[in-house]
Amino acid sequence: MAINLELPKKFNAHIDQARQAGLQVFRPISRKYDSAEHEYPVELDTLAALYDGLAEAGQAGAGAAGGRGDEGKKRPEGYNANGGNMQSIINSMEASYGDVGLMLSIPYQGLGNAAIAAVATDEQLEAFGKVWAAMAITEPSFGSDSAAVTATATLDGDEYVLNGEKIFVTAGSRATHIVVWASVDKSLGRAAIKSFVVPREHPGVTIARLEEKLGIRASDTAVIVFDNCRIPKANLLGSPEVDVKKGFGGVMQTFDNTRPMVAAMAVGVARASLEELRAVLEKAGLTIDYDRPASDQPAAVAEFIRLESDWEAAYLMTLRAAWMADNKMPNSLEASMSKAKAGRTGTDVTNKAVELAGTVGYSERSLLEKWARDSKILDIFEGTQQIQQLIIARRVLGKSSSELK
């Protein structure tokens, strides 16, 4: 069976657009907003306006918004789709190649937008398709164990009343809306966890504080408190029914979209580091020769070849997860595999690049040290390395969450 690993030509314009945004807009201001954490990158407003115009023309931007592509169309047998998911993955890779913190700050391109694209009904897409949505899952009492949500959403007439505290909300103080995970009935366990779209400037919503962080400092990370916050019933994403047999699967479909997106971010940052490291090595007189065994070349070159091969694997796994989503194939396993591989590879590549580049890598003479700091979160949020491996093990072994903890 032949496998074509080339990207579809129809994406060339999108790739060029996102790459130019990364190199011409993000890179020049990358260090500025890394140093000025919590200062809003006003340069992104122009970029957001451009992407809004492209969206009106039926094209995607360069952020994490995701998309449904041509999923509503009837497909003939054997049809191979490369649609909204693949396009968003590629856009995120290229934009993160410029600066991942700024990519996460693009207005109307938030992780919450990917969640809306994953589970919203057609009516909700009409209502929330053009908002800027952050995603609020993590709480003070848990990190990657999403089933441990303690925030509640109590139905009162035609409204839900939300109560709880969310932490590490990316773009939480800037986005116009927040996708919040909360339980509609604590007695029913994880099956009762639903996601809700909440306007940020709304009674009962308080931005408690902004975090000081190791990396992605251009992106704000907020603590948000919901205190008797009342929202319409229609703001519950997807079906309001609690299906105990189906369990947590409905809301978890969000991660099938967002985990490959985060993997793509890690792939983009790692590629930037590899290209910078290559330039440093070549300037030092070390030539990377792919026609010779790595063991027969200088140690730094051999290590570069290892890092590059790991990066290639992460890149291909990320594309595979997106391709499966576009072709209506269950991709939960592949989404976690891409996130685990890319997250680990991203931190390995960026940290090794700092090490191999010596004083250039550790100083602010290049962006290598910044990329090493930025990459760490990409191995943590949307599920840590350990959580991904646990999910992968459950899928491979056919075990439930109660059978394999």
C-alpha closest to that of 164 among 146, 138, 189: 138
Gap between the terminal Cα atoms of the chain: 38
Q: Are 343 and 266 in contact (CB under 8 A)?
A: yes
| Beta strand pairing call for 159-170 and 152-156 | antiparallel
Using only C-alpha atoms, the chain has a radius of gyration, in whole angstroms, of 21
Burial 146-168 (b: 16+ CB within 10 A, else e): beebebbbeeeeebbbbbbbbbb
In the residue annotation, 382 being an active-site residue is answered as yes
Q: Which long-range contacts (CB under 8 A, 24 or more apart) does 327-330 make?
A: 327/80, 327/81, 328/71, 328/81
The phi and psi torsions of 319 (rounded to 5 degrees) equal -60, -40
Question: Burial of 298 by CB count in 10 Å (0-12 exposed, 13-18 middle, 19+ buried)?
Answer: middle
Q: What tokens were used for 308? A: 């590059």
Say how far apart CA 260 and CA 321 lie, in whole Å: 6
User: Which residue bears the tokens 């051999």?
Assistant: 302
Contact indicator for 388, 339 with CB cutoff of 8 Å? yes
Catalytic residue (choose from 71, 312, 382, 403): 382
The CA distance from 268 to 225, in Å, is 33
Catalytic positions are 382
